[in-house]
Amino acid sequence: MEKYVLITGASSGLGEQTAVRLAQKGIKVFAGVRKEKDKDKLNSLHKNITAVFLDVTDSSSIDQAYKEILEKTKVLSALINNAGIALAGPVEFLPVDMLKKQFDVNVFGAIAVTQKFLPLMDKNNAKIINLSSMASYGIFPFVSPYCASKRALDMFFNSLLLETKNKNLKIVSIKPGVVSTPIWNKSVDTAEKIFENVTQDCKDKYEKELLFLADNARKNTNRGLQPEKIANLIAKILDAKNPKLSYNIGKDSFFAKYMSMLPLNVSNFLVKTGIKLRIK
Active-site annotation, residues = 146
- Contacts (Cβ under 8 Å, ≥6 apart) of 111: 156
**What are the E-state strand segments in 40-169?**
49-53, 78-81, 127-131
Rounded CA-CA distance 53/174 in Å is 25
Taken in order 65, 236, 255, 210, is the CA torsion positive or negative? Answer: negative
Cα dist. 238→52, 134, 154, 182 in Å? Answer: 21, 21, 19, 25
Q: Are 35 and 11 in contact (CB under 8 A)?
A: yes
Rounded CA-CA distance 171/157 in Å is 7
Q: How many C-alpha atoms does 228 have within 13 Å on its Cβ side?
A: 1
